Amino acid sequence: MQFHVPTLCLVTDRLRCNGRRIEDVVDAAVDGGVGLVQVREKDLPAAELYALALRLKDVVGRRALLFVNDRVDIALAANADGVQLGENALPLEAARQIAGESLLLGRSVHSVAGALKAEAQGADLLVLGTIFPTASHPGAVTGGSRIVREVASAVSLPFLGIGGIDATNAGEVIAQGAVGAAVITAITTAEDPAAASADLLATMQAAVLSVPAKAM
């Protein structure tokens, strides 16, 4: 499967929706141009996470891809499109053995070495961070544009930048070689998630037009 260039990914956090239902925020965000939704609610027990994944799968329908964070079993049971695995999550080889070709396998990476390892192990998509300072991971080491550029030069896999990305810097991430961006706060806390998503996507689309897009 090919990913759209650019791809805007919403990583869910139901506790950062200003009192709104996460389903409503996701629905609006997809209306605004989000093409990938990652269900990332680490505090939920399996049964509740599964139920949420089912509801969000129904919300996005065919309008966007749905990934589940870390849980290959729940991603399969909910008929999701993929699973996003942290660097310390299940090894890619094991995830592929369980999922076969039923799921796209994303891997979160933080360095060139991590990106190269994930590519060698069969990842379909990388999520690279932390790019800019972010409230989601205060104090995290950030790589800025430099790490995006270095990973783009090192691997052929499509990858998204994550961490502190908003409409002011999303274009920079694309210009340095990412095919998209993953965000939480810039959409979930926005007064109008659809408009916020549209602004982010427009910024990235402008960057795609101004620099050669990385082949996917």
Q: Which residues of 182-193 are buried (b: 16+ CB within 10 A; e: fewer)?
A: bbbbbbbbbeeb
Question: What tokens were used for 194?
Answer: 């659809």
| Residue pLDDT, tens place only, 35-75 | 999 999 999 999 999 999 999 999 999 999 999 999 999 99
pLDDT value, residue 145: 93
**Mean predicted confidence (pLDDT) in 88-112:** 97
Q: Is 207 helix (H, G, I), strand (E, B) or coil?
A: helix
Domain locations in the chain as residue ranges: 7-210
Per-position DSSP letters for 117-139, written without gaps between them = HHHHTT-SEEEE---S--TTSTT
pLDDT value, residue 214: 46
Taking the C-alpha atoms of residue 86 and residue 215, their distance in angstroms, rounded to an integer, is 25
pTM for the structure as a whole: 0.94
Taking the C-alpha atoms of residue 115 and residue 118, their distance in angstroms, rounded to an integer, is 5
CATH topology of domain 7-210: TIM Barrel (3.20.20)
Residue 189 pLDDT exceeds 60: yes
